[in-house]
């Protein structure tokens, strides 16, 4: 039989269509797998995904209803932590300090009364936690406060006791926070006593402990030392991260690896504060301009 170029193309096309029809289900399966995997790997990099903002409004409102119910069962604990915070703040009041020596007196700093806002660097906003996870390798916290209430991406979040995490995604009324208990969370920490800085991260093992890397061996560290956020961490004012639990002496490097017990109790988060650094933009702009000038 004569089969010219036209016939063979028809045959080829026919075979392709037959192939597609025969393996339609398998191709559809592959297609959905590729969508799912690309969402997964893109999300890990950018913390953004298709329809995430819309979905956050829906899932956020479900979580909020549950959390409203749960809230009553934790009132006592919440009250205790707020009382202890109040106690700490009251102890800082100027009226608590009196000097018998009349030649010197305690003067109250004027900056707390900066009504024009010229010197304010950090602005605090309170928020209710509507969902919280501690049981996976990538833990997120959802709060009931979003763009309409002034929360933006990259703001720091602390609780009454210590650092909680960083805002990674916002919708109109909700925001998602990457908890310190997340495998890609990185916060610059410092030893309160001596000032050495290092990176605080989570190795994904136990939700009770964090890891602090790159503390030079010249530092004098002891168990129980406090670790605070470094002043290089633009998102936070100096805030407690936790206390040193154990010190691992890495033989192969010149650095210690510290295990840190976080000050925040991630299992019973109820109220958090979102911190906005009002001067971050200026600092970022200057650093960016410097980088461009050098290149």
Kindly tell me which of 146 and 207 has the beta carbon lying closer to other proteins. Answer: 207
Q: Applying CB under 8 A, does 38 fall inside the site for other proteins?
A: yes
Contacts of 178 (CB under 8 A, 6+ apart): 47, 140, 165, 166, 167, 168, 184, 185
Query: Contact region for other proteins (CB under 8 A) — 30-38, 73-81, 155-163, 236-244?
Result: 30-38
Nearest CA among 244, 252, 250 for reference residue 220: 244
Q: Residue 168 is encoded by which pair of tokens?
A: 């990674």
**Residue 84's CB: how many other CB atoms inside 10 A?**
12
Binding window for other proteins (CB under 8 A); candidates: 3-11, 74-82, 100-108, 203-211: 203-211
- CB-based contacts of 111: which residues, under 8 Å, 6+ apart? 119
Report in angstroms how near the CB of residue 119 gets to other proteins at its nearest: 37
Smallest distance, other proteins to C-beta of residue 274, A: 18
Q: What does the block give as tokens for 165?
A: 């995490």
Smaller CB separation from other proteins, 175 or 228: 175
Q: Tell me phi and psi for residue 24, to 5 degrees.
A: -55, -45
Per-residue binding string, other proteins, 119-138, x by CB under 8 A, is --------------xxxxxx
Residue from 152, 170, 177 nearest 57 by CA:
170
Site stretch for other proteins (CB under 8 A), options 40-48, 79-87, 275-283, 287-295 = 40-48
Which range binds other proteins by CB under 8 A, 143-151, 200-208, 249-257, 274-282?
200-208
Task: Tell me how far apart the alpha carbons of residues 260 and 175 are, in angstroms, rounded to a whole number.
Answer: 27
Of the candidates 134, 147, 184, 162, which has an alpha carbon nearest to the alpha carbon of residue 238?
162
Is 53 a binding residue for other proteins by CB under 8 A? The answer is no
CA dist 240 → 66, 145, 227 (Å): 30, 23, 6
Cβ-based neighbour number of residue 163 at 10 Å:
29
| Contacts to other proteins from residues 135-174, by CB under 8 A | 135-138, 140
Q: Note the residue count of the chain.
A: 295
Interface residue with other proteins, options 33, 194, 253, 254 (CB under 8 A): 33
Token pair listed for 17? 């269509």
Q: Which is nearer to other proteins, 123 or 213 (CB)?
A: 213
Which is nearer to other proteins, 30 or 278 (by Cβ)? 30
Which one of 9, 11, 12, 37 is in contact with other proteins (CB under 8 A)?
37
Closest CA to 243 of 193, 203, 207, 204: 193
The contact mask relative to other proteins for 247-286 (x = CB under 8 A, - = no) is: --------------------x-------------------
Q: Which stretch binds other proteins (CB under 8 A): 23-31, 154-162, 190-198, 274-282?
A: 23-31
How far is residue 199's CA from residue 213's CA, in Å, rounded to a whole number? 5
* 62 is an interface residue for other proteins by CB under 8 A: yes
Q: Using the rule CB under 8 A, is 243 a contact of other proteins? A: no
Return the residue of 194, 206, 279, 290 that touches other proteins, per CB under 8 A. 206
CA distance 217 to 255: 5
Three-class DSSP category at 172: coil
Site for other proteins, rule CB under 8 A: 24-26, 28-29, 32-33, 35-41, 43, 49-52, 55-56, 58-59, 62-63, 66, 133-138, 140, 176, 183, 203-207, 267
């Amino acid at each position: 039989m004569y089969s010219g170029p036209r016939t063979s193309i028809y045959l080829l096309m026919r075979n392709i269509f037959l192939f597609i029809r025969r393996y339609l289900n398998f191709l559809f399966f592959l297609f959905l797998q590729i969508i799912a995997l690309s969402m997964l790997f893109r999300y890990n990099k950018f913390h953004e995904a298709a329809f995430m903002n819309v979905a956050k409004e829906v899932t956020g409102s479900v979580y909020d209803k549950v959390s409203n119910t749960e809230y009553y069962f934790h009132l006592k604990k919440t009250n205790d932590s707020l009382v202890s915070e109040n106690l700490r703040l009251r102890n800082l009041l100027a009226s608590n300090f009196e000097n018998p020596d009349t030649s010197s007196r305690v003067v109250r700093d004027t900056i707390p009364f900066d009504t024009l806002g010229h010197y304010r660097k950090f602005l605090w906003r309170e928020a209710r936690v509507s969902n919280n996870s501690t049981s996976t390798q990538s833990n997120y916290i959802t709060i009931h406060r979003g763009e309409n209430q002034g929360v933006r991406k990259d703001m720091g979040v602390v609780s009454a006791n210590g650092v909680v995490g960083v805002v990674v995604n916002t919708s109109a009324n909700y925001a998602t926070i990457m908890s310190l208990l997340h495998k890609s969370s990185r916060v610059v920490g410092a030893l309160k006593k001596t000032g050495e800085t290092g990176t605080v991260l989570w190795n994904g093992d136990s939700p009770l402990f964090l890891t602090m890397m790159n503390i030079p061996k010249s530092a004098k560290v002891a168990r129980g030392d406090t670790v605070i956020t470094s002043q290089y961490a633009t998102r936070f004012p100096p805030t407690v991260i936790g206390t040193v639990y154990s010190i691992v002496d890495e033989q192969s490097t010149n650095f210690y690896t510290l295990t840190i017990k976080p000050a925040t109790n991630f299992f019973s988060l109820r109220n958090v504060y979102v911190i906005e650094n009002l001067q971050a933009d200026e600092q970022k702009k200057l650093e960016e301009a410097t980088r461009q000038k050098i290149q």
